[in-house]
Amino acid sequence: MMDHFVLDFSLTCGNIDFSRMHHPNYSRGDIINPSVRDLVADKVQLVRARGR
Amino acid sequence: MAVDEAIAAISGQQGQLPTVRVYGWRPAAISIGYSQGVRETVDVRKCARLGIPLVRRLTGGRAVFHDEEVTYSVIAGKGCLGSGSSVLEIYKRIGQALVLSLERLGIRACLRRTASRGAEWGGARGLAPCFSSVGRYEVMVGRRKVVGSAQRWIEGAVLQHGSLLIGEGHLQIARLLPHGETDEREKMTQELREKTISLGALLSRQVSYAEVASALFFGFQEALQVRLVPGQLRFEEETVARRLVRERYGRQEWTLRR
């Protein structure tokens, strides 16, 4: 199995920066949950199975 | 959260081989279980003052403070995580992958089938955070939990989330209890210390995100008997994820709905 293990850790994929998105339901003054729009998944790595 | 749900919706159809993601959280944040009452779980205003985001997971379980840890998600079509297809069997299969991952890091862990969630925790009005509750197949080192996991089935797909503790960041949830008295917070911290242990503590050294990620991919590949290769989000998955953020995960109405 290890022969097929070809991960490249410099690869970041599937990391959408949601902080850049427009949220019509939020404004800068919103203090209830202010930073959810700035929350991102960090150092994301995604792998998919390609056969057994 | 949105990306994991989007992958489950688009690619996690019946018979689909697994997709595995690992990620950290920036900034540190709290995830709330799908059915949890947020105001009974954490002090929402205090989180806001401290700049700690709250998100509601698609998976169940209890609150987790995501800091100094690595989160994994596994999404697969039903029937692709072993011959069985029950919740318990999939917990076991993924648990075996986690045990192999830990072994790769030099940690001897075991799978324990245990009582229902929260059964062992009596403090803080039953508000036990995810890591202090023990249920289904849990990955344990001795009598302490090193991984917290939760599972959700969505039509033809199964999604399981979990976090591997690198350090003690998860303990911070105790200071965010709602209306918590100091004694109660200290009791929760103590119980979390007794029932959980981090990879750093087990190995007596700093553990990096990259080595845990590498070990996870190794463990999943071996236990699930699949060949895993780097991938990226498909256009349809990204489109659905963005919609889910707009309609659900990015909305406080969704996060605070209970």
pLDDT classification of A24: cutoffs 50, 70, 90: very low
Residue from B165, B131, B166 nearest B149 by CA: B131
pLDDT digits (tens, 9 = 90+) for B72-94: 999 988 777 765 567 888 888 89
Please indicate whether, in this complex, the C-beta atoms of B226 and A52 are within 8 angstroms of each other. yes
Is the pLDDT assigned to residue B123 strictly greater than 80?
no
User: Which of the four pLDDT bands, split at 50, 70 and 90, describes residue B134?
Assistant: very low
Of B76, B233, B249, the CB nearest to A13: B233
- List the single residue in B225, B229, B256 with the smallest CB-CB distance to A50: B229
- Residue B62, pLDDT score: 84
Residue spans of beta strands (DSSP E) within B82-156:
110-114, 136-141, 144-145, 147-154
Rounded CA separation B245/B241 (Å)? 6
The answer to whether residue A14 neighbours chain B at the CB level (below 8 Å) is yes
Interface ipTM: 0.77
**Inter-chain touch B25–A42, beta carbons under 8 Å:** yes
- From the list B21, B134, B10, the residue with the least C-alpha distance to B72 is B21
Instruction: Answer for the pair B51, B13: CB distance below 8 angstroms, yes or no.
Output: no
Contact yes or no for B207/B68 (Cβ under 8 A):
no
How many other CB atoms are found less than 10 A from the CB of residue B213? 24
Instruction: Inform me whether the C-beta atom of residue A36 falls under 8 Å from chain B C-beta atoms.
Output: yes
Which has the higher per-residue pLDDT, B201 or A15? B201
Mean pLDDT score of chain B: 84
Tokens of B23: 């990620």
Instruction: Look at A39 and B25 and tell me if their CB atoms are within 8 Å.
Output: yes
Residues of B with a catalytic annotation lie at 130
Q: 10 Å Cβ neighbour count for B49?
A: 11
The answer to whether the CB atoms of B231 and A31 lie below 8 A apart is: no
* Structural tokens at position B66: 């995501």
* Pairing status of strand B69-77 against strand B19-26: antiparallel
Report the gap between the CA of B213 and the closest CA in chain A (Å). 8
Structure tokens at B3: 């990306």
> Whole-model pTM?
0.80
